């Protein structure tokens, strides 16, 4: 009877370890840990978004510049205006 109980408790403990329940309960109980993790996650997201937007914008401007070189009459004028506006405002930010 006592052996069965010990075996069941050991199985429950193993299941907790597999599911990282111990770490989750520690994090939920420690407010400083929650704040630290959320702060680091927020900074990481902000930096990632900034880098992503910069790269996508640079790629779009590059593609638009290549389209201008093709001298497509109607589209080229609009795109050249857009690229000019972006390049003029790039130094102001």
With 0-12 / 13-18 / 19 or more C-beta atoms within 10 angstroms meaning exposed / middle / buried, residue 86 is middle
Q: Is 71 left (phi over 0), alpha (psi -120 to 50) or beta?
A: left
Backbone φ, ψ for residue 9 (5° rounding): -65, -40
pLDDT tens, residue order, the chain (93 aa): 778 888 888 888 887 777 776 677 776 777 788 888 889 999 999 999 999 999 999 998 888 888 777 777 777 777 778 888 888 887 665
- pLDDT value of position 22: 67
């Amino acid at each position: 009877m006592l052996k069965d109980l010990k075996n069941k408790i050991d199985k429950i403990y193993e299941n907790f370890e597999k599911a990282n329940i111990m770490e989750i309960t520690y994090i939920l109980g420690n407010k400083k840990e929650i704040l630290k993790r959320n702060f680091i996650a927020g900074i990481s997201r902000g930096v990632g978004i900034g880098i992503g937007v910069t790269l996508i914008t640079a790629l779009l401007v590059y593609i638009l510049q290549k389209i201008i070189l093709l001298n497509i009459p109607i589209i080229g004028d609009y795109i050249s205006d857009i690229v000019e506006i972006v390049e003029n405002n790039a130094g102001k930010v």
